[in-house]
Structure 1
Amino acid sequence: MQLSIERHPEAATRTATVMNAIRRRIAARTLTSGEKLPSIRGLANAMSVSPSTVVEAYDRLAAEGLIRSRPGSGFFVAGSLPLVLADVEPRTDRAVDPLWVSRQSLDGGADMLRPGCGWLPADWMPTAAIRRALRAAAKAEDAMLTDYGATRGSRALRGVLARQFAAEGIDAGADQILLTASGTQAIDLVCRFLLQPGDTVLLDDPCYFNFQALLRVHRVKVVGVPMTPTGPDMASFAEALETHRPRLYIRNSAIHNPTGASLSPQAAHRILTLAAAQDVTIVEDDIFADLEPEPSPRLAVLDGLATVVRIGSFSKTLSASVRCGYIAARADWIDGLIDLQVATNFGGPSPIATEIVSGALSDGSYRKYLAALRSRLAKRRREVAATLETLGIRPWLEPRGGFYLWCRLPDGQDAADVARRALRENVVLAPGNVFSVAQTARDWMRFNVAQMDDPRLPALLKRVLDG
């Protein structure tokens, strides 16, 4: 068998090059099932690499199941080649429900356009700070790289959060903060702790679609309260509290998802007064806090964590790959939440993840990155809003910050139908009714301005709007 190394400036490591050469031969059937591979020394000479490089390549290919080792005989092409799965095609027949946008956004290929997704593009994120934190984490003690996480999570990161909360006016020590595997897990733990099947939960309408998806799992009744540009409609909120006696009210603080609205001081005080009178716990998701130019009222700050639980994560401004969330709550609730986390996750979040997050947040460049990000997003919101206006797509309001625009489609078009047509063009959109509890957002759409840099998008949007 003749194998030669291909030398390109962008070539991967020598080990990867050897592996790829063998993979190509197997794919072309010039190496067939059961055939013996060259000896380690023979292939090393043929490809001008060291024997240790060939050993590593063979070991990795064996781990993939592509080849097999026979002690004393050498390496052979696997008798039954591993199944190669084709790329998953977008499913246009899937029901457009609260899980629709998540599934399409997460499973789409690298060439998928994602103006409907809920995260920033990779080149908008602080990857240099993350890499520095990764290098520092790699030098940590072996136990941090191999052991389970402590039940409360990293003390260092909890200390960072406690100092941030203190700057806002929340007197919460590290013992009132529980780190979790993600922001979604934080909500799930709170729901497990406070809810029983059949309870009622209030949500804004529209609201973040995964609130609805998660609450389905807990088998509770969900009641929506219409949103206004300054918060929930107060008359509807008061009526829902009186009529349905909910156990929880879950909402985004800072910049509301999907509308981009910010809570007014009057609405914040009214929410707390009404909720306290009905013994309703409020779960305030603060995930978009760092995207605000100036802080809007926070229920957790006004309440001091007496009847408000703050949750959040770092996926919107730091990394959605390095998963870590948190819960800040009454001290007497934390032990119960810890027990639930141990039962469902066996310990706290990954120590590696919390070390990376802590390092990146403590990096001197992070504050400057946020300031530049807010400025960049403000510019993109104006540009995208102007582009959408030319298509007859009109934003509901001009958000103070963040990367979402909540828009009405022209001519009463059904956003779900538009999203299905867009998916056939390899574009993921976020139709309004996936966010609406009462299904009253048929002709609305949420756009992520940071994911709309591709110059093809205006023409693609026009084509799907035209049918």
Structure 2
Amino acid sequence: MVESESRAPEAMGRTETVMQAIRRRIAGHALAPGDKLPSIRKFARDMAVSPSTVVEAYDRLVAEGLIRPRAGSGFYVSAAMAPVARPDALPEVERAVDPFWVSRQSLDGGREMLRPGCGWLPPDWMPLAAIRRATRAAAKTDDAVLVEYGSTRGSPALRRLLVRQFMAQGIEAGAEQVLLTSSGTQAIDLICRLLLRPGDTVLVDDPCYFNFRALLRAHAVRVVGVPYTPTGPDVDLFEEALATHRPRLYLTNSALHNPTGASLSPRTAHRLLAAATAHDVTIVEDEIFADFEPEPSPRLAALDGLNRVIRIGSFSKTLSASIRCGFIAARPELVDGLIELQLATGFGGPSPLAAELVFRTLSDGSYYKHLAGLRSRLVRRRREMIAELAKLDVHPWTLPRGGFYLWCRLPRATDAAEVAKSALRDGVVLAPGNVFSVTQSATDFMRFNVAQMNADVLKLLQRTLG
């Protein structure tokens, strides 16, 4: 086993060498569309490789569409040639700085982009060894997990594990109250489909996560912002908004609020629930950052018992944004309606393989050590970045208890959107304040991801703000 594994990278290199030789011949017009390629044995001799290496190279070029086989005749250059590859489009600096702006620049910018405005951790901060172990183990699991649809609620094993975690946080729920989804965003989308109609009103925090705004816009609902404070939404204004606008939903982060990093206080949590009950409003509590807290802050779902509160989350921040899997925890009758919507719109929840990978990684004894190490590492990085930003007269609006965001005010009432557009020309994605604000009242704020900050970003900010 060890010997075969040691030869594998070398064999892969030989296959790629053969493929590149064919590509060069086609690019240099030594082989034209419709021309026959050398036979496998002849090309193996020419390239000093085994026939099996040439077979693999030809098969992979067929998969790319560059060549095609003819039964009993050999391989030929495809008549319809693929277009010449061109570099990705340049950053769209001049497009509107709206709730989609940061997402588009962060996701499409290419690996060379610096992303202090994005909403995820760098790869080397993630539990890569545990993910690789889970991937190897999942490859040996039941055939059905690899090729079939999953059950309507999703992996029973993962749902039972989540229920045990909920119990440790004071939330009592059965596995039948948990529905797995393909992401946290899909969880919110399903809830909106179930509970909202075009023209309904939804309350959000101001500022709030910019994709809340984007998603609610897609549902054609009216969005009303409630000013956020270091202890949660301004409860007096929250109660006033409930009475004035009669919303159907309130969407929030209780733990390590995005973008501010604030956490809900016990007094605010109790007043929010009392007001929501009095006005018959459903609360959607997004718990995606909860595992970054050193000690749990109040949870609306725990205080409410999943009666009026729907809890959602995913694993993209602490585990992997590539393994798409989220969850909803709610009253049983709501879960039943959400199941049917998920069947109608996606024929099931997350990939059973994705759920298997999440379950195996969360069950790995090293995962919780990873979380503890992550929290400690972020404490150090936050302190470092607060000190460095202070040199630029950039200061956090509040000091978060955990997580990787700093919500900062720029000096001299600087327009953060203009700073972000300027930075993008230098290959840096920033998150200006108004993409998070319903009322566009965060013009001179910026959200920084401390894990994605480095000396180059700080130099750019010094140059821009100096």
Instruction: Report TM bin, short chain.
Output: over 0.9
Letter in 2 for 1:15: T
TM-score by length of 1: 0.96
Tell me which residue corresponds to 1:44. Answer: 44
What is the rounded CA distance, in whole Å, between the counterparts of 1:80 and 1:332 in structure 2? 54
Q: Report the secondary structure of 1:62's partner residue.
A: helix
Q: 1:12 offset after TM fit, Å?
A: 4.3
Tell me which residue corresponds to 1:364. Answer: 365
What is the rounded CA distance, in whole Å, between the counterparts of 2:308 and 2:46 in structure 1? 71
Tell me which residue corresponds to 1:24. Answer: 24
Tell me which residue corresponds to 2:261. Answer: 260
Report percent identity of matched pairs: 70
Q: 1:70 offset after TM fit, Å?
A: 2.4
8 Å CA contact retained: 2:269, 2:300: yes
Deviation string 1:384-440 (CA, Å, 9 cap, x unpaired) is 111111112111111100000000111111111110000000000000000000000
Tell me which residue corresponds to 1:186. Answer: 187
Q: Report the secondary structure of 1:423's partner residue.
A: helix
Q: Report the secondary structure of 2:406's partner residue.
A: strand
Q: 1:35 offset after TM fit, Å?
A: 2.6
Q: 1:465 offset after TM fit, Å?
A: 2.7
What is the rounded CA distance, in whole Å, between the counterparts of 1:250 and 1:395 in structure 2? 24
What is the rounded CA distance, in whole Å, between the counterparts of 2:12 and 2:178 in structure 1? 43
Tell me which residue corresponds to 2:237. Answer: 236
Q: 1:10 offset after TM fit, Å?
A: 8.2
Q: 1:23 offset after TM fit, Å?
A: 2.0
8 Å CA contact retained: 2:405, 2:447: yes
Q: Report the secondary structure of 2:223's partner residue.
A: strand
Letter in 2 for 1:42: K
Q: Report the secondary structure of 2:408's partner residue.
A: strand
What is the rounded CA distance, in whole Å, between the counterparts of 1:81 and 1:385 in structure 2? 53
Deviation string 1:85-138 (CA, Å, 9 cap, x unpaired) is 421211011100001000000001110000000000000000100000000100
8 Å CA contact retained: 2:66, 2:81: yes
Tell me which residue corresponds to 1:65. Answer: 65
Deviation string 1:230-265 (CA, Å, 9 cap, x unpaired) is 000111111001100100000012100000001000
8 Å CA contact retained: 2:179, 2:328: yes
Tell me which residue corresponds to 1:4. Answer: none
Q: 1:32 offset after TM fit, Å?
A: 3.0
Alignment pair present for 1:88 and 2:89 = yes
Tell me which residue corresponds to 1:459. Answer: 459
Letter in 1 for 2:207: P
Letter in 1 for 2:453: M
Tell me which residue corresponds to 1:223. Answer: 224
TM-score by length of 2: 0.96
Tell me which residue corresponds to 1:397. Answer: 398
What is the rounded CA distance, in whole Å, between the counterparts of 1:210 and 1:372 in structure 2? 29
Structure 1: segments with no counterpart, 5+ residues? 1-6
Tell me which residue corresponds to 2:130. Answer: 129
What is the rounded CA distance, in whole Å, between the counterparts of 2:140 and 2:309 in structure 1? 39
Q: Report the secondary structure of 2:23's partner residue.
A: helix
Tell me which residue corresponds to 2:443. Answer: 442
What is the rounded CA distance, in whole Å, between the counterparts of 2:388 and 2:23 in structure 1? 46
Alignment pair present for 1:413 and 2:414 = yes
Deviation string 1:264-315 (CA, Å, 9 cap, x unpaired) is 0000000000000000000000000110000000000000000000000000
Q: Report the secondary structure of 1:337's partner residue.
A: helix
Change (3 A) 1:10 1:403: farther
**Pairs aligned (count):** 459
What is the rounded CA distance, in whole Å, between the counterparts of 1:320 and 1:127 in structure 2? 12
Tell me which residue corresponds to 1:430. Answer: 431
Letter in 2 for 1:34: G
What is the rounded CA distance, in whole Å, between the counterparts of 2:50 and 2:36 in structure 1? 20
Q: 1:348 offset after TM fit, Å?
A: 1.7
Tell me which residue corresponds to 1:201. Answer: 202
What is the rounded CA distance, in whole Å, between the counterparts of 1:270 and 1:403 in structure 2? 28
Q: Report the secondary structure of 2:98's partner residue.
A: coil
8 Å CA contact retained: 1:253, 1:288: no
Letter in 1 for 2:439: A
Alignment pair present for 1:342 and 2:314 = no
What is the rounded CA distance, in whole Å, between the counterparts of 1:278 and 1:11 in structure 2? 67
What is the rounded CA distance, in whole Å, between the counterparts of 2:202 and 2:389 in structure 1? 35
Q: Report the secondary structure of 2:19's partner residue.
A: helix
8 Å CA contact retained: 1:151, 1:338: yes
What is the rounded CA distance, in whole Å, between the counterparts of 2:308 and 2:317 in structure 1? 26
Q: Report the secondary structure of 1:326's partner residue.
A: strand
Q: Report the secondary structure of 1:406's partner residue.
A: strand
Letter in 1 for 2:39: S
8 Å CA contact retained: 2:232, 2:254: no
Q: Which moves more between the two structures, 66-75 or 312-321?
A: 66-75
Deviation string 1:20-77 (CA, Å, 9 cap, x unpaired) is 2322332343433333211111112222322222112111111211112222322122
Letter in 2 for 1:62: V
Q: 1:157 offset after TM fit, Å?
A: 0.3
Quote the RMSD (CA, aligned, Å).
1.5
Letter in 1 for 2:314: S
Q: Report the secondary structure of 1:184's partner residue.
A: helix
Letter in 2 for 1:310: R
Letter in 1 for 2:114: L
Change (3 A) 1:10 1:428: farther
Letter in 1 for 2:121: L
8 Å CA contact retained: 2:11, 2:53: no
Q: 1:14 offset after TM fit, Å?
A: 2.9
Tell me which residue corresponds to 1:116. Answer: 117
What is the rounded CA distance, in whole Å, between the counterparts of 1:365 and 1:29 in structure 2? 54
Change (3 A) 1:75 1:139: same
8 Å CA contact retained: 1:203, 1:224: yes
8 Å CA contact retained: 1:11, 1:17: no
Q: Which moves more between the two structures, 279-288 or 19-28?
A: 19-28
What is the rounded CA distance, in whole Å, between the counterparts of 1:12 and 1:419 in structure 2? 42
What is the rounded CA distance, in whole Å, between the counterparts of 1:130 and 1:215 in structure 2? 33
What is the rounded CA distance, in whole Å, between the counterparts of 1:248 and 1:355 in structure 2? 32
Letter in 2 for 1:327: I
Letter in 2 for 1:64: E
Tell me which residue corresponds to 1:245. Answer: 246
